[in-house]
Structure 1
Amino acid sequence: MAEGLRERKKRETRQRISDIATGLFLEHGFVTVTIAEVADAADVSVNTVYNYFPTKEDLFLDRSKGVVDRLSRWVRGRDVGESAAAAVLRELRDEVEAVSPRVGLMPGYDRFMRVIHDAPPLRSRLWSIQQEVQENLETTLREETGAAPGDPLPALIAGQINWIHQTVMGSIGREMVAGREPDEVSRETLALLDDMEELLSDKVLNYAVRDHS
C-alpha cells in the first residue's frame, strides 16, 4: 500500500513539474526559461527536476516515448490479413478523422510548434525522436517477419512507413501554425493520406501481412 502511494506521488509530482514547465515554455520561450525557474514555480529543488527529467528538452518533449513506439505499436496490433503499412494508414486515418489531439489537431498546437521552431535544441531533439521512430519500427518489422539480419527490406519498408507518418505530422503542424481550424485541417489531411497511399508500391502495401491471430 505504502509503495503504491509513493509511486502515485512520484507520478503526480512528475506530471506537475511537466505541466508547469510547459506553461512557462509556451509563455516565455524554451531558451529563456531556466530549470531553476521551473523548479521554483513547481516548489521543488533543481535536483528534483533533474531526477525526473535528465535534460531540459525532456521537460518539453516528455511524452516522446509514446511517440517513439507509436508506429511499432500500430504494426504489432494489426489485424489478421492486414499489412504493416495498411495498419499505420488505418490508425492515422482514425486519429485524423477523430480530430485527435494526439496528432496535433487541437487549439493551441500552433503555440507548441512555435516553441520548437524557435529553439534549435528542441528541433534537434525532434529530429532525433523521428530517427528513433524509424529505427524502432525497423526492429519491429524484423521481429514480425523473421527477417534475416542482413535483409535490407525491413529498413526500407520502415523508411516508407515513417515517411507517411512524418509527412502527415509535418503537414498538420504547418497548417495549425498558419492558424487553420482543426476540423478543416482534418479533412485536408485525410485527402493527403489518400494521395500518399496511391504513391506506395504493392510491395510496401503488402509487406508483413498478418496471416494468423
Structure 2
Amino acid sequence: MTAGLRELKKQQTRQAISDAATRLFLERGFEKVSLTEIAAAAQVAKMTVSNYFPRKEDLAFDYHETLTASLARAVALRPVAESALAALRRECLAAIERHDPVIGFSGPGFARMIAGSPTLTARLRELHDQCEDALAQVLSADTATAPGDLTPRAAAALLAAAYRTLFRQIMELTLAGKDDQEITAIVTGSGRQVFALLEPSLADYAVRKPPS
C-alpha cells in the first residue's frame, strides 16, 4: 500500500470513528456512551479509537485542533497594514457567514449534547483557553515583545473574549430554536458591536508591518 493510500485509509478510519461516536452521543448523551460501544459501532478495536482520539471528549470536538489554532492563524496570516483586531473581526464575521462550527454553529442536537454534559462544557472552556494561549504566543512573537511584558497576553484575552462571547450567543440561539439564517443575522450585528468595543484600545495594536 502506498503512502497516499495509507493516509487515505487513516482518514477514512478516523472519520468512521467520529461519525459513529457522534451518532451515539446524539442518541444517548455523551456520558452514557462507552469507548467499547463506539468501537463496535465503527467496527474497529477499542485501542484504535484511543489511538485516533486519546480523549473521549475529542470524539465530540473532532475539530478541536482547528478551533484552538483559529485565532492565531487568522492573525498570523493577516495582510500588511492590518491590525490583529481587524484580522479577527474579519475572520469571525466570515465564520458566522459560512456557519462554521469553529464559531459555534453545530445544530440543535449537538448544542443540546454539549449543554447537557458537564464534561463537554469543561472541555470547551479548555479549548477556548488553548485558543487564547496560541493567540498570545503569535502576538508576542509578531510584536517582538520583551520578556515579562503582559501586553500580548492582555490583548489575547480581550480578543478571545470577543470570540467566546459570539460562540456562546450562537449556542444559546441554537438551543432557543433559531435556524442558521436567523442566527447569522443576529450574531453578525453582535460581532460588529463586540469588536467595536475593542477599537479604542486595540485598533492600532499589532498592525502588520511590511517586510524590511
> Given the two structures, how large is their TM-score scaled by the length of structure 2?
0.94
1:179 partner SS: coil
Over 3 Å counting, the alpha-carbon distance change for 1:100 and 1:119 in structure 2 is closer
Q: In structure 2, how many angstroms separate the alpha carbons of the residues matched to 1:118 and 1:32?
A: 12
For 1:29, the equivalent position in structure 2 comes to 29
**1:194 corresponding residue in structure 2:** 192
Q: What residue in structure 2 maps to residue 123 of structure 1?
A: 121
Residue type matched to 1:44 in 2? V
Asked if 1:113 corresponds to 2:111, the answer is: yes
TM superposition shift of 1:4 = 2.1
| Cα distance in 2 for residues equivalent to 1:140 and 1:43 | 41
Give the length in aligned residue pairs: 211
Residue identity in the other structure for 1:134 = E
Aligned to 1:157: 155
Q: Distance in 2 between matches of 1:34 and 1:163?
A: 34
Residue 89 (structure 1) aligned with residue 89 (structure 2): yes
**Partner of 1:177 in structure 2?**
175
Tell me, which stretches of 5 or more residues in structure 1 are unaligned? Answer: none
The separation in 2 between residues aligned to 1:100 and 1:128, in whole angstroms, is 19
Match of 1:211, SS? Answer: coil
Name the aligned partner's letter for residue 52 of structure 2. Y
> Structure 1 residues 66 and 186 mapped into 2: Cα distance closer, same or farther (>3 Å)?
same
Paired with 2:191 and 2:151, the residues of 1 have a C-alpha distance of 23
Counterpart for residue 70 of structure 2: 70
Q: Which residue of 1 aligns with 2:8?
A: 8
Contact between 2:104 and 2:168, CA under 8 Å: does it hold in 1?
A: no
How many Å apart are 1:103 and its aligned residue?
2.9
Equivalent residue number for residue 45 of structure 2:
45
Give the unaligned 5+ runs of structure 2: none
Structure 1 letter corresponding to 2:171: G
Question: Per-residue displacement from partner, 1:158-204 (whole Å, max 9, x unpaired)?
Answer: 01100110001100110011100211111111111222123214331
| Other structure's SS at 1:212 match | coil
Q: Which moved more, 1:174-183 or 1:191-200?
A: 191-200
Return the alpha-carbon distance in structure 1 between the equivalents of residues 193 and 179 of structure 2. 21
Deviation at 1:11, TM superposition (A): 1.3
Deviations 1:97-151 (A, max 9, x none): 344454344xx61211211111111111111111101111000101111111211
**What does residue 58 of structure 1 align with?**
58
**Corresponding letter in the other structure for 2:97:** E
Distance 1:156 1:94 in 2: 24
Alignment CA distance shift 1:9-1:94 (3 Å)? same
Specify whether residues 172 and 8 from structure 1 end up closer, same or farther in structure 2 by C-alpha distance, changes over 3 A only: same
C-alpha contact (below 8 Å) 1:160/1:204 kept by paired residues: no
Task: Select between 83-92 and 93-102 the one with higher mean Cα deviation.
Answer: 93-102
